[in-house]
């Protein structure tokens, strides 16, 4: 396997998605050859259109639930719808993407000797009774709820990654991603940041579920991608899953107020019933990432929101 001081052949599944497109961009900037694989269920060509003519970028339409035979040095497995609106649309396909996709990508990594990264999620902690959540916490997840296709699919994928490492020696990295936002989020993904921004820019009522006192921690996409790359470059003892997210915590009401202020929106705030299994609080303990990778987020929420709002404003003006 070619190591990291030169050009590597890197496969990014879900590469036309929100996170994947930013990762592809970063890897190209570092001089690598990038194979972007996506079935365009939630990813869009718009996200990677500016990369299509790049001499080291290749796009392949493919579903990871089907085996893929390519020659690569590294694999970033990001394929899976990540918002409740999208992953609940076809829950069986969602869990197939997490489980069959993991098996197929791990099989590929095993065959070619590639290091492989799994985009896991803070949803493995469910509605936590430990706060903030360290990697040692096993979680509190409903295995049969409407969110289970995603939560349990990702938990099973983590099991597969660690078992492929223990049984076959596959070189794995598992990152548990907390709420992330930034340009190229899908405008209709139902996530709180994109929801609030689109509603504010359109002058529509801003929808809060429950009292809006549930908390989240919001990480800007550039910080997250930096964490991805540092984790993949880490050659020390396998640290197990690592939390990647911003440990600063905000209530949903505070987020709504920031969005309204930045957009100068006149949108009123309206309340709706809390969705089933919606976590009350979510905040990462990133001590392991700080110690192991020297990583912590740099972009403050206000700065990140300004950049994200500018993207959505342009998108909506263009009629998307």
| Catalytic site positions | 150
| Residue labelled with tokens 């709706």 | 272
d(CA 224, CA 18): 12
Q: Which of 111, 100, 117 is nearest to 66 (CA)?
A: 100
Contact 168, 109 (CB under 8 A): no
Rounded Cα distance between 282 and 111, Å, is 37
- Upstream peptide bond of 142 is cis (omega within 30 degrees of 0): no
Are the beta carbons of 141 and 155 closer than 8 angstroms? yes
Residue matched to tokens 């959505």: 312
Q: How many residues does the chain have?
A: 320
Identify whether the C-beta of residue 309 lies closer than 8 Å to the C-beta of residue 183.
no
Sign of torsion, CA 243 248 249 254?
Answer: negative
Written as six digits, the tokens of 294 are 């020297």
The span from the CA of 297 to the CA of 245, in Å, is 7
> Rounded to an integer, what distance in angstroms lies between the CA atom of residue 146 and that of residue 65?
21
Which residues lie across from 181 on neighbouring strands? Answer: 220
């Amino acid at each position: 396997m070619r190591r990291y001081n030169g050009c590597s052949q890197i496969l990014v599944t879900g590469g036309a998605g929100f996170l994947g497109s930013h990762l592809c961009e970063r890897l190209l900037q570092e001089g690598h050859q990038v194979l972007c694989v996506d079935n365009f269920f939630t990813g869009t060509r718009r996200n990677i259109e500016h990369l299509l003519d790049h001499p080291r970028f290749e796009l392949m339409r493919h579903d990871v639930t089907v085996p893929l035979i390519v020659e690569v040095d590294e694999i970033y497995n990001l394929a899976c719808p990540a918002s409740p609106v999208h992953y609940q649309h076809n829950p069986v396909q969602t869990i197939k993407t997490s489980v069959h996709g993991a098996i197929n990508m791990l099989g590929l990594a095993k065959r070619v000797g590639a290091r492989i990264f799994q985009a896991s999620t803070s949803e493995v902690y469910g509605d936590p009774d430990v706060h903030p959540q360290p990697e040692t916490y096993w979680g509190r997840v409903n295995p049969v709820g409407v969110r289970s296709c995603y939560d349990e699919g990702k938990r099973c994928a983590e099991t597969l990654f660690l078992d492929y490492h223990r049984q076959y020696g596959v070189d794995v990295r598992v990152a548990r991603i907390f709420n992330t936002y930034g340009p190229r989020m899908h405008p209709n993904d139902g996530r709180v940041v994109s929801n609030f921004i689109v509603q504010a820019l359109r002058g529509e009522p801003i929808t809060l579920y429950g009292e809006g006192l549930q908390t989240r921690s919001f990480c800007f996409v550039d910080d997250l991608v930096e964490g991805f790359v540092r984790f993949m470059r880490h050659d020390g003892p396998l640290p197990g899953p690592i939390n990647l997210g911003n440990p600063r915590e905000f209530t949903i009401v505070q987020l709504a107020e920031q969005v309204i202020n930045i957009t100068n929106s006149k949108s009123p705030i309206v309340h709706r019933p809390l969705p089933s299994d919606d976590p009350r609080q979510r905040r990462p303990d990133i001590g392991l990432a700080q110690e192991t990778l020297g990583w912590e987020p740099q972009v403050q929420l206000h700065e990140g929101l300004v950049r994200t709002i500018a993207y959505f404003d342009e998108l909506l003006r263009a009629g998307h």
